[in-house]
Each structure stands twice: as C-alpha cells, then as structure tokens.
C-alpha cells in the first residue's frame, strides 16, 4: 500500500512539473537564446493565472522563431536592440531602456538586430498548466 501511494505521488508530481519542463525545453532548443527563471507566483485574486518573471539573453542575430504565449508578455530591454514582429503589424525596434508588450495568443518573433548580446527581463501573466511558449507555423 505504501508503494502505491508513493507511486501515485510521484506520477502526480511529474505531471504537475511537465509545463515547467516544456517551457524550459522550448528555450533550450532555440539556438542563441538562454533564459533564467526568477519568479513564478499565483496572481492574487485569480488562481487560474500565474506571473512568471525571467531574464532572457539573445546572442547577436538570434531569433525566437514564430510563437505565441497563453497570456500576456511584458518585457524591458536592458542591453542591446531587439526587433519585435507581431503578426499583422510592422516590425518594431526596441533599444535598451524601452519596453514592449506581446498580447495573449498573438504570433510574434523577437530577434537581436544589434551588435551585442541583448538582455531582457520579461514578465508573463499566463494560464497555469499551459506551456509558456507555443510554436507557430
């Protein structure tokens, strides 16, 4: 009986951790882009949502590829210059000291168009249990 309870607990813990690992793997598979989680917390007053804060570094020329998020992304460029392309809009250059917003579900791509590593801090307000990044065709 103790083994069954332990096995069930292990399976539950693994299933709960899958979204975290999936979002980490998505970044790990993007050459030239690295991310570091800083905070993951439930949004006050709405147990369905969580806030995730991460740093993201883009090597010169690196691109995220087309993707979307199951919630809003708010980011500030700390160093370098990024080009943000939201589907249906003209590309926007975002230099250090400026911020940008990618709305929930909107396909976009972010590319380092500068000559130094670009560094950002990004905050995501997303639905719990969903992958942070959803690749787009």
pLDDT digits (tens, 9 = 90+) for 24-41: 444 446 899 999 999 999
Number of structural domains in the chain: 1
Distance CA 109, CA 88 (A): 12
pLDDT reading at 10 higher than 70: no
What per-residue confidence (pLDDT) applies to 30?
86
Listed in sequence order, the residues at least 6 apart from 65 whose beta carbon sits closer than 8 Å to its beta carbon are: 30, 109, 135, 136
CATH classification at residue 38: 2.60.120.10
Its domain, for residue 101, covers 2-135
Q: DSSP H helical segments within the chain, as ranges?
A: 2-28
What per-residue confidence (pLDDT) applies to 29?
61
Instruction: Tell me the pLDDT tens digit for each residue of 56-115.
Output: 999 999 999 999 999 999 999 999 999 999 999 999 999 999 999 999 999 999 999 999
SS3 sequence of 114-131:
CCCCEEEEEEEEEECCCC
Alpha carbon 106 to its chain centroid, in Å, reads: 13
What per-residue confidence (pLDDT) applies to 1?
52
pTM of the model: 0.78
Grade residue 118 by pLDDT with cuts at 50, 70 and 90.
very high
Structure tokens at 129: 């249990």
């Amino acid at each position: 009986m103790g083994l069954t309870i332990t096995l069930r607990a292990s399976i539950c813990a693994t299933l709960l951790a899958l979204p975290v690992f999936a979002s980490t793997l998505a970044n790990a598979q993007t050459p030239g882009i690295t991310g570091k989680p800083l905070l993951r917390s439930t949004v006050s007053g709405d147990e369905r949502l969580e806030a995730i804060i991460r740093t993201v570094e883009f090597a010169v020329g690196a691109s995220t590829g087309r993707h979307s998020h199951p919630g809003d992304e708010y980011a500030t460029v700390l160093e370098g210059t990024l080009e943000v392309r939201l589907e249906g809009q003209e590309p926007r250059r975002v230099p250090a000291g400026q911020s940008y917003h990618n709305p929930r579900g909107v396909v976009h791509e972010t590319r380092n168009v500068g000559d130094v590593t670009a560094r950002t801090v990004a905050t995501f307000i997303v639905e719990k249990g969903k992958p942070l990044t959803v690749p787009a065709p």
